[in-house]
Structure 1
């Protein structure tokens, strides 16, 4: 008699199930695909770009899109396609740096305000005061005070967007600190720092991650706006904002100078919003029932 061995497929891990459910949404897949495309173009720009983004060629100025110049050329004969993909590197760098720095500031302030009652009122009033100003106006004021540069833009936008995270973290911490497992940890004599980092912060990763995607998009859009106004990096550096600003006076005869960097901003921000919406729907228990 032949022995028949039955093998059962091991259950999928929580991470694998989450990824499958996450990728089941078509909008998320499209957004993630566009975002990955921009990341690849930015990372491989030195090998993909047919020309140097700063190479001048007056003979080829204001050439329309063609086989030689895919996105046409600008008023100095520089290749718009090369400048567009090089500009993606700076936009993604600013977005990532702003998310990291604003998360450090916002999470720290939110945890302190939510966990320590004596710090709640002053930090909450500071958050409310900063959020009372429009984001772009506060960023312009900070950049104008500190001087336009890449570092200044990152610091200014981080200060502008940190209160958003701080408010979310504070509200969640106020709820979590009253839960039984936190009170049990305090009764056992576990240090406050250990409770805040291991018990409170770990339960805040979902809203922080979701808000981080939206801040990434907002930071890229704000950087383009500051560069458009001449308050970002040097005008010689290829950014989507400076490219659109330079193309304003040629919009009638060389619209491609504005259209292509504008489309790049729209697609990158839209892709991050799609991914952020998918993460919010997957990580919010109130919305999981509808999935």
Structure 2
């Protein structure tokens, strides 16, 4: 029989609370649908996203073209689900980038007092710039490409995670069990990884979902401005940018990519809010 407070019971309790949260389940369901459509796009899409058919240009949604066609006769449905692959790739890559560098900076700044002030000032300076303006400046300086977009957005959102990790580390390093580990001569790297980092997984997870949503939205914004990936690659931002010229004639060109962005970002926000409520002891009592 599992002991009270054991990891198995804690995990089961967390899952049971997660299932009862309707907003989290709805967000997860939407996110899973978007991810499945994007991952299986080569098998689900009825047409190639780059297939041109000028005779079928600006066809309204119907049985042949579910979401209609664009100015070159390309199937909007096929391009929409293919564009989801790039958005998910960018979001996941930016989260990974921010997690690696943000967690490292936050841990070092919070644990080592001598490094706290300079790192904290750098973080504050980077967060003083609006996210999209800093991303535009970095992409313009490095040149538009998929790798550049990921690196630029990773640099933009790394300070967000670093700031949260630093603040939590400042508290955790003063707790009795950390002091006891120091007194016993436990190596610093072991204290940081096993005693500090393990207790930061909850805020990192929650902030990671928000960064995922912000990155997808920022990537769409950069593509809309022509600073994202190559125009030949379908993205939600470039599709909306192309459709604005035909907003009165073929509004479906902007409608469906816009809905895809809204659903993806909204689902991630719902999941992030749900995780925050479930993992934060101060909010859990109100659930």
Q: Which whole-Å CA distance do the structure 1 matches of 2:129 and 2:274 have between them?
A: 29
The CA deviation at 1:263 is 0.3
1:210-232 superposed Cα distances (whole Å, 9 cap, x missing partner)? 00000000000000000000000
Q: Which whole-Å CA distance do the structure 2 matches of 1:53 and 1:13 have between them?
A: 48
- Secondary structure of 1:99 counterpart: helix
- Secondary structure of 1:253 counterpart: coil
Q: Give the equivalent residue in structure 1 for 2:98.
A: 102
Of residues 133, 137, 142 in structure 2, which corresponds to 1:137?
133
1:233-255 superposed Cα distances (whole Å, 9 cap, x missing partner)? 00110000000000010000000
Q: Give the equivalent residue in structure 2 for 1:183.
A: 179
Larger radius of gyration: 1
Q: Which whole-Å CA distance do the structure 1 matches of 2:12 and 2:72 have between them?
A: 51
Provide TM-score, normalisation by structure 1.
0.96
The CA deviation at 1:9 is 10
1:147-189 superposed Cα distances (whole Å, 9 cap, x missing partner)? 0000000000000000000000000000000011111111111
1:1-291 matches, within 5 Å, as: 13-291=9-287
Q: Is the 8 A contact 2:139 2:152 kept in 1?
A: yes
Q: Give the equivalent residue in structure 2 for 1:3.
A: none
Q: 1:9 to 1:149 in 2, by over 3 A?
A: closer
The CA deviation at 1:192 is 0.5
Q: Which whole-Å CA distance do the structure 2 matches of 1:131 and 1:9 have between them?
A: 46
- Secondary structure of 1:13 counterpart: helix
- Secondary structure of 1:234 counterpart: coil
Q: Which whole-Å CA distance do the structure 2 matches of 1:166 and 1:46 have between them?
A: 37
Q: Once superposed, which parts of structure 1, at least 4 consecutive aligned residues long, lie more than 4 Å away?
A: 8-12
The runs of 5 or more residues in structure 2 that have no matched partner are none
Larger CA deviation: 185-194 vs 11-20: 11-20
Q: Which whole-Å CA distance do the structure 1 matches of 2:138 and 2:187 have between them?
A: 38
Q: Which whole-Å CA distance do the structure 2 matches of 1:175 and 1:9 have between them?
A: 31
Q: Is the 8 A contact 2:102 2:160 kept in 1?
A: yes
Provide TM-score, normalisation by structure 2.
0.97
RMSD: 1.3
The CA deviation at 1:10 is 9.8
1:247-283 superposed Cα distances (whole Å, 9 cap, x missing partner)? 0100000000000000000000000000000000000
The CA deviation at 1:20 is 1.4
- Secondary structure of 2:174 counterpart: coil
Larger CA deviation: 11-20 vs 259-268: 11-20
The CA deviation at 1:17 is 1.7
Q: Which whole-Å CA distance do the structure 1 matches of 2:114 and 2:251 have between them?
A: 57
Q: Which whole-Å CA distance do the structure 1 matches of 2:103 and 2:77 have between them?
A: 39
The CA deviation at 1:25 is 1.0
Q: Is the 8 A contact 2:2 2:9 kept in 1?
A: no
- Secondary structure of 2:229 counterpart: coil
The CA deviation at 1:13 is 2.6
Q: How many residues align?
A: 284
Q: Which whole-Å CA distance do the structure 2 matches of 1:100 and 1:207 have between them?
A: 15
